[in-house]
Amino acid sequence: MQRARFLAGWVLLLVAMVALAGCGSTTDSGGDGDGGGGGAAAGGLPKLAQKDNYTVCFPQTEENNPWRLAQTASIKEEVQKRGWKLVYTNAAGSAAKQVADVQSCIAQKVDVIWLPPREEKPLAVAVKSAKQAGIPVFLLDRNVDQSLAKAGEDYVAFIGSDFIEEGKRAADWLIKETGGKANIIQLLGTSGASPANDRRKGFEDAIKGQSGMKVLASQDGDFNRDKGRQVMETLLRAHPNVDAVYAHNDEMAIGAIAALKAAGRKPGQDVTVVSIDGERAALEAIVDGELGASVECNPRFGPKAAETTVAYAGGQTIAPKIINPDKFFDASNAKENIAAAY
Ligand code: AHR
């Protein structure tokens, strides 16, 4: 009896060892979707084969504002122009759905994933799953938590704007415009998203040395026009002495302008508003004198994403961070840029 138990124990141990060895080989070989190059490129990243047609996965975060619509349009246009195939999904504002959308792309064995991670932490896990499956990932516009996943190791590269610099540019403009004296309400972007974290840091670091610049309150408006309006309405009641608004995107700034007007305030006159993106409605608000300035965050990623993907497949070294050059819009140039805006 004892001998039988001893033997059964060994059999179980052997089964477990074989299973573990099997797991290891799956991870190492990479699941070459139908276009994966198989094996690993520099830094252990999955390779991408050189071919005429790629199947690209683009799991969008949400489609509830002009910036996102412009980004999706740019991706669709570029993929179509090149005759590639697009697997497009809309996570409708849910990080959990976006993670599931990435998993579905992995199951479909796409060649490459162009991912705008809605939030920094949950999407880092999805990035790692794609790497394990042998599918290269390029992060577009937003980043993941660098302590969980790194460019050049877990994903090929981040392509997008410098969000810290955007916050700093907004602060520099506001300091100049107000002579360094302002009582500010800050409308934050989606909690846990890299542009919200970085735009806050860039702005707050830049005003640190200015004793006259005070942030009265900061609250999440989820990069959304109506939420921005609601948050502004509430904060305005608590802080009637506000004379400046810094919104992490134009949509929230436009919502805040509506709330200010509804409360009998005069945006552009008794409250200075500055934001980020450079969408058409913001440029029009600048022309109308209600919005002071908007730091551009360019949403047209299609050409750069495709160009970088092809370069990667061709074996070129890809910089881990590819930063878009961004403009700045204020009363001096808003009008002439409206025609080209989204
Ligand atoms: O990640 C970029 C930000 O996301 C844009 O500023 C915002 O409008 C969008 O939702």
Query: Could you read off the pLDDT of 84-136 as tens digits, one per residue?
Result: 999 999 999 999 999 999 999 999 999 999 999 999 999 999 999 999 999 99
- The model carries a pTM of 0.88
Q: How far is CA 322 from CA 72, 159, 160, 176, in A?
A: 19, 5, 6, 30
CA distance 322 to 127: 18
Element (H, E) at 59: strand 55-60
pLDDT for 67 equals 98
Burial of 340 (0-12, 13-18, 19+ CB in 10 A): exposed
* Among 159, 254, 297, residue to substitute to test ligand 1 (most atoms within 8 Å of Cβ): 297
CA distance 40 to 221: 41
- pLDDT above 70: residue 25: no
Element (H, E) at 217: strand 213-220
pLDDT tens-digit map of 246-275: 999 999 999 999 999 999 999 999 999 999
pLDDT tens-digit map of 237-254: 999 999 999 999 999 999
204 C-alpha to ligand 1 centroid (Å): 19
Residue recorded with tokens 């394990």: 132
Residue burial 6-41, b: 16+ Cβ < 10 Å; e: rest? eeeeeeeeeeeeeeeeeeeeeeeebbbbebbbeeeb
Q: Residue 38: which pLDDT band, with cuts at 50, 70 and 90?
A: low
* Among 223, 252, 323, residue to substitute to test ligand 1 (most atoms within 8 Å of Cβ): 223
- pLDDT above 50: residue 3: no
CA distance 58 to 101: 9
Q: Cα-flanking dihedrals φ and ψ of residue 302, to 5°?
A: -50, -60
Average pLDDT (30-42) is: 51
Q: By three-state DSSP, how is residue 308 classified?
A: helix
pLDDT tens-digit map of 282-316: 999 999 999 999 999 999 999 999 999 999 999 99
